[in-house]
Amino acid sequence: MEINMPKVDEFALPIGRSLLAAYFILPGIAKFAAWQMHIDLMHHHNMPFAEPLLFLAGIANFVLGGLLLANRHVRLAAYGCVFYILLVNFNLHDFWNFSGIEGAHETQNFVKNLGILAGCLMLAGFTARQEKSD
């Protein structure tokens, strides 16, 4: 069976963009649905101003994910996602402050987020190139 690569390529970008959107929108829903759990997690990581920051994070999840899903301002949204991931990684996945299972779990989340960050950078770069060729 031969796969028609141009046809597959045609769907790769919108599917990838939609999956990145879901990666932000679904946690945005979870932040509001399990508010206290997220506040407790932020306190566990010694985050000051947990309540307003959680609210802003939830809104950022919806706005950034919504822009990606709607295919609007994709480059700006992708860079916004990069900034968001960096903030989350260095404040909530601070594996260097933990040991044992918890340290391993935070390391795993930190590295996983670097992969998501890489995807956002690639999307931003591709979108910039696409805008220049239009």
**pLDDT given at position 89:** 97
Q: 9: which 2 tokens? A: 């390529």
Q: What is the pLDDT of residues 31-43, one digit of tens each?
A: 999 999 999 999 9
Using an 8 Å Cβ cutoff, are 54 and 41 in contact?
no
> For residue 81, what are its two tokens?
């996602």
Residues 56-76: tens digit of each pLDDT:
999 999 999 999 999 999 999
* Residue 102, C-beta contacts closer than 8 angstroms, at least 6 positions apart: none
Mind listing the pLDDT tens digit for each residue in 77-97?
999 999 999 999 999 999 999
Decide: 74 and 17 in contact? Cβ < 8 Å: yes
- Residue 11 has what DSSP assignment? H
Query: How many structural domains is the chain composed of?
Result: 1
Q: Is the pLDDT of residue 2 over 90?
A: no
Contact predicate 34/58, CB 8 Å: no
- Tens digits of per-residue pLDDT, 99-119? 999 999 999 999 999 999 999
Domain that holds residue 99: 5-133
